[in-house]
Amino acid sequence: MAAIELSGVRKEFGDVTALQGVDLSVEEGEVFGFLGPNGAGKSTTIDILLDFVRPTAGDVRVLGRNAQRDSLSIRDDIGVLPEGFHVYDRLTGRQHVEFAIESKGVDDDPDALLERTGIEPSARDRKAGGYSKGMQQRLALAMALVGEPDLIILDEPSTGLDPNGAREMRDVIREESARGATVFFSSHILEQVEAVCDRVGILRRGELVAEDTIRGLRENVSTGTVLTLVVSEVTPEAIEAVENVDGVSDVSSDRDTIRVHADNAAKTRVLDAIERTGVTVEDFATEDASLDEVFAAYTEGDR
Amino acid sequence: MSWTVVAKKDFRDALRSRMLWGLTVLFVLFMAGIAYAYTLFANQAPTGDPTVDSLGLVAFLSSPVSLLVPITGLVVGHKAIAGEVESGSAKLLLSLPHSRRDAVLGKVVGRTAVLSLSIVVGVLAGILVTLALYDTVDLAALAIFGVLSLVLGAVYTSIGVGISATTRDGGRATIAAASFFLVIEVIWDFVPWAVNYLLNGSFIPTGTPPVWFAFLGRIAPSSAYSYALNTYIPEAGLTGGMRLPDSILLSGGAALVILLAWLVLTPLVGYLRFNARDL
């Protein structure tokens, strides 16, 4: 059974189409990264999973149940860190977690959950309205973990977290996954999800443009190679020669290096072209396109 | 029963806010203050009867209470849902297993509990003053007065929450609550007259007013409250000697049914609106 199953999901807000026929399937037990630039429709999709927002068309199933009709029973079995939430300013951190525990009718230990998400004992009985954004995020994560949910939905979980906090967030995701939970989380930064995701989906302007492993994404995108050449001298003639090579998309240079974006096949031609102008290539290195570039290839331009 | 969890959370939230304490102080000052002021007033009454009587106090209190309680009820209730949706805390609430129905019901109960506690403490303070200073104290009448005031408070808190559920904008909820008060408690007073004018060419009916005329006049919650007080504490002599036709529509029971209808229907309408739209 799929933990999340969307088929043909459309959502229109007035005359704005937020989602245009999204099909997506997240398997039980997997960690799925839901990616896309801000405004692509990620939060709308998650809001539909939670029945905050009703789809204009299409079928949505969560844990095999209908996301609209069976929302209450679904929310019994999932944990959610929503995006753009606001804490109850006057309730303490502990009271928030207790509220989640009572709401789900379980008997978790609030302190154990707060401990896991890194809220210090001294902060637990303070009003959550005084928490920093990062602490509020940790608090909401603790609420999401209540009741060992089968599926955990995290909407932009790293918001407001420093690098250390983001790493702890990933640790919690791994622990939950090891327990057997399915984790579905959204992000607008591919690098953040690479370390933990089994698969990712990329949403762009309300359409799912990719659904694959990170490795698969890299292979599918012909972002080519970056060549870094250390040369005896950077001359205008050498730069011009490189720019004229077939398959070269971008050239930049500083004192003694030339950086070239090119197809894999263009590598030798670039070297030849430089040498022909009388400049010696002293050293060169090639590297794969960064994840940023892979992501950009899916989410920018006219693909 | 998830509404009980919501109600409890809402009440806890209010305990930590100044709202509960502010309201309690307000009602204590108001009830005890008026109970005391009434002793001065009764001593100078033109009837020449110097007894200070708690029944007279009920009559004296009914009109300001039917203004103060509705306004505080609306203030307490009108941001309950809209405020949470606007700020985003509704996302925390509704990502937990609470239906929107339970969210509305829990808010109604939680906020009603807050207002009720303030009213109870206020009424008790008033009763203490009467026990200390009054010649005769009719505790049963004061108890009926207290209970009906609680009902009026619950009605207006429910109306506030119901209004709050129809919008996701706190400012709009405030305007809607104020408009409700203006239309139902102020403008509505003229409706029976206007209808009579259309039917009979005069604003005020001649002789004993017809049943519909009197009934329309007690549709507004505070009117229904006044008529219920008048029915259940007749000794207080609230409405003077106005003669009314005999009809079940004009009974104390009917006034209670009107209050009950407001109590149930406005949150229901609010819930239906809330449930039908995106968060």
Q: Domains (ranges, CATH) in chain A?
A: 2-219 (3.40.50.300), 222-299 (3.30.70.100)
| Encoded tokens for A170 | 């990933």
Q: Which residue of A has its CA nearest to B275?
A: A52
Does B185 score more than 60 pLDDT? yes
Q: Are A195 and A228 in contact (CB under 8 A)?
A: no
B13–A86 C-beta distance less than 8 A: no
The pLDDT score that the predictor gives to residue A301 is 61
The total of other beta-carbon atoms located within 10 Å of residue B12's CB is 18
Residue of A74, A99, A139, A145 to mutate, testing the B interface (most B Cβ within 10 Å of its Cβ): A99
Among A54, A73, A84, select the one facing B88 at the smallest CB separation. Answer: A84
Q: Any residues with CB less than 8 A from the CB of B48 and at least 6 apart, and which?
A: none
The total of other beta-carbon atoms located within 10 Å of residue B61's CB is 23
CB proximity B18 to A under 8 Å: no
The pLDDT score that the predictor gives to residue B156 is 98
**Cα–Cα distance between A4 and A33 in angstroms, integer?**
13
| Encoded tokens for A197 | 């995701």
**Cα–Cα distance between B247 and B214 in angstroms, integer?**
10
DSSP assignment letter at B53: B
CB proximity B275 to A under 8 Å: no
Residue type, B194: A
Handedness of CA A261, A267, A271, A272 (dihedral sign): negative
Mean pLDDT of B19-41: 92
DSSP assignment letter at B185: I
What is the enclosing helix (H) or strand (E) of B84?
helix B82-87
Assembly ipTM: 0.88
Residue of A63, A102, A146, A150 to mutate, testing the B interface (most B Cβ within 10 Å of its Cβ): A102
Q: Which residue of B has its CA nearest to A88?
A: B89
The pLDDT score that the predictor gives to residue A57 is 95
Q: Which residue of A has its CA nearest to B91?
A: A85
**Cα–Cα distance between B94 and A46 in angstroms, integer?**
13
Rounded to two decimals, what is the model's pTM? 0.85
Condensed to tens digits (0 to 9), the pLDDT of residues B40-91 reads 887 776 665 667 888 889 988 999 999 999 999 999 999 999 999 999 999 9
- Weakest-pLDDT range from A13-27, B81-95, B98-112, B227-241: B227-241
What own/partner pairs with CB < 8 Å and gap ≥ 24 does B187-192 have?
Answer: B188/B219, B188/B220, B189/B217, B189/B220, B191/B216, B192/B216, B192/B217
**Which of A49-58, B226-235, B238-247 has the highest mean predicted lDDT (pLDDT)?**
A49-58
**Cα–Cα distance between A130 and A125 in angstroms, integer?**
11
B92–A103 C-beta distance less than 8 A: no
Helices of type H across A146-213: 163-179, 190-194
Cα atoms in the Cβ-side hemisphere of radius 13 Å centred on B43? 9
Residue type, B102: D
A75–B13 C-beta distance less than 8 A: no
Q: Are A166 and A133 in contact (CB under 8 A)?
A: no
A87 contacts in B (CB within 8 Å)?
Answer: 89, 92
Among A75, A90, A127, select the one facing B96 at the smallest CB separation. Answer: A75
Mean pLDDT of B26-31: 96
**Cα–Cα distance between A285 and A44 in angstroms, integer?**
43
Residues belonging to chain A? 303
**Cα–Cα distance between B218 and B170 in angstroms, integer?**
30
Q: Bridge-partner residues for A204, per DSSP?
A: A207
Does B1 score more than 70 pLDDT? no
Q: How far is A95 from chain B (nearest CA, A)?
A: 9
DSSP assignment letter at A116: H
CB proximity A239 to B under 8 Å: no
Percentage helix, strand, coil for chain B under 3-state DSSP, each rounded to 5? 80, 0, 20
| Encoded tokens for B67 | 């203004």
Does B260 score more than 90 pLDDT? yes
The phi and psi torsions of A25 (rounded to 5 degrees) equal -135, 125
A82 contacts in B (CB within 8 Å)?
Answer: 88, 91-92, 95
**Which of B104-108, B130-134, B199-203, B242-246 has the highest mean predicted lDDT (pLDDT)?**
B104-108
Condensed to tens digits (0 to 9), the pLDDT of residues A15-60 reads 999 999 999 999 999 999 999 888 899 999 999 999 999 999 999 9
- The residue among B20, B236, B37 whose CA lies nearest residue B120 is B20
The pLDDT score that the predictor gives to residue B160 is 97
The pLDDT score that the predictor gives to residue A223 is 59
Does B242 score more than 70 pLDDT? no
Cβ-Cβ contacts under 8 Å between A and B: the total is: 74
Handedness of CA A152, A157, A162, A163 (dihedral sign): positive
Cα atoms in the Cβ-side hemisphere of radius 13 Å centred on A180? 3
Scan residues 55-94 of A and list those with Cβ closer than 8 Å to B.
Answer: 71-73, 75-76, 80, 82-88, 90-91
Q: Any residues with CB less than 8 A from the CB of A252 and at least 6 apart, and which?
A: A258, A259
CB proximity B87 to A under 8 Å: yes
**Cα–Cα distance between A63 and A75 in angstroms, integer?**
10
B94 contacts in A (CB within 8 Å)?
Answer: 50, 52, 75
Specify the higher pLDDT residue, A135 or A287.
Answer: A135
Burial environment of residue B48 by CB neighbours within 10 A (0 to 12, 13 to 18, 19 or more): exposed
Q: How far is B263 from chain A (nearest CA, A)?
A: 26
Residues belonging to chain B? 279
Q: How far is A224 from chain B (nearest CA, A)?
A: 43
B87–A72 C-beta distance less than 8 A: no
Among B2, B17, B92, select the one facing A90 at the smallest CB separation. Answer: B17
CB proximity A155 to B under 8 Å: no
DSSP A198-262: SEEEEEETTEEEEEE-HHHHHHH----EEEEEEES---HHHHHHHHTSTTEEEEEE-SSEEEEEE
B97–A103 C-beta distance less than 8 A: yes
Handedness of CA B10, B12, B17, B22 (dihedral sign): positive
What own/partner pairs with CB < 8 Å and gap ≥ 24 does B243-249 have?
Answer: B243/B208, B244/B208, B244/B209, B244/B214, B245/B208, B245/B209, B245/B210, B245/B211, B245/B214, B247/B211, B247/B214, B247/B215, B249/B211, B249/B214, B249/B215
Q: Which residue of B has its CA nearest to A48?
A: B278
Among A73, A85, A95, select the one facing B12 at the smallest CB separation. Answer: A95
B99 contacts in A (CB within 8 Å)?
Answer: 71-72
Q: Are strands A257-262 and A225-231 parallel, antiparallel or unpaired?
A: antiparallel
